[in-house]
Amino acid sequence: MKTLVVYSTLTGNTKKVAEAVASVLPECDLMPVEEAPASVEGYDFVALGYWVDRGLPDQKARTWLEGVKNAKLAFFGTLGAWPDSDHAKECMARGEAMALEPERGNAVYGSWLCQGKIDPKILEVMAKMAGNVHPMTPERRARIEEAAKHPDENDCLRAQEFFRTVLEKVK
Ligand SMILES: Cc1cc2nc3c(=O)[nH]c(=O)nc-3n(C[C@H](O)[C@H](O)[C@H](O)COP(=O)(O)O)c2cc1C
């Protein structure tokens, strides 16, 4: 069984999870989305990692995903929000829906997300934005502070567990 892990990352959070995932997949090629092949032919399983950008898998991951056909795939990713939030669930559903567009011939085995530290520069820009759409509340501050600790060792272990389970279904 030959497997492929492709990841998109800005600040390294998703790369860290990608490396953990790749280490438990058989005969795995691991590559950043910028170097990923246009076709996934020859791979029995593909894992695509993205960072969440305004409620969606980031643009580079989406663009690469457009070319993925006849694949068995699953997603992983990192985001600032809580992984069990509606926001996270919607993002996962959107990613999966793109892969499952008719005529693509893909089979999706699920998605897994964890928190990832938010670039302080982005937080600064957001705070300065006129009509701040995300005002700072105690809840939001706690979430950002928690995100700053992730992805951690436990996230990597849980991602590995998710993909081990997925692999059993793919086989
Ligand atoms: C421009 C931008 C937009 C973002 N949008 C969201 C978002 O909609 N929801 C969310 O939960 N996190 C959002 N985040 C946080 C990132 O998804 C999170 O920090 C992620 O772990 C970054 O991953 P990376 O280090 O692999 O680039 C955003 C971050 C940036 C820079």
**β-strand pairing of 72-79 with 45-53:** parallel
pTM of this structure? 0.97
Q: Splitting the chain (171 residues) into consecutive groups of 10 residues, what average pLDDT does each group show?
A: 98 98 98 98 98 97 97 98 98 98 95 97 87 84 97 98 98 87
Ligand 1 atom index nearest CA of 151: 21
Ligand 1, atom 29, residue with closest C-alpha: 53
Ligand 1 atom index nearest CA of 11: 25
Give pLDDT, residue 51: 98
Ligand 1, atom 19, residue with closest C-alpha: 118
Give pLDDT, residue 131: 72
**Mind listing the domains of the chain with CATH numbers?**
3-115+151-170 (3.40.50.360)
Give pLDDT, residue 128: 86
- Give the closest residue to 77 by CA, choosing from 89, 64, 63: 89
Structure tokens, 54? 């305004």
Can you tell me the distance from the alpha carbon of 3 to that of 170, in angstroms, rounded to the nearest whole number? 11
Residues whose CB is less than 8 angstroms from the CB of residue 44 and which lie 6 or more positions away in sequence, other chains included: 1, 2, 3, 72, 170
Secondary structure letter of residue 10 according to DSSP: S
Ligand 1 atom index nearest CA of 85: 11
- Tell me, in angstroms, the distance from the centre of ligand 1 to residue 13's CA: 10
166: left (phi over 0), alpha (psi -120 to 50) or beta: alpha
Give pLDDT, residue 45: 98
61 neighbors 94 (Cβ within 8 angstroms): no
- Tell me, in angstroms, the distance from the centre of ligand 1 to residue 11's CA: 9
What are the pocket residues of ligand 1 if the criterion is a CB atom closer than 6 Å to any ligand atom? 9-14, 51-55, 78-81, 87, 116-119, 122
Give pLDDT, residue 117: 98
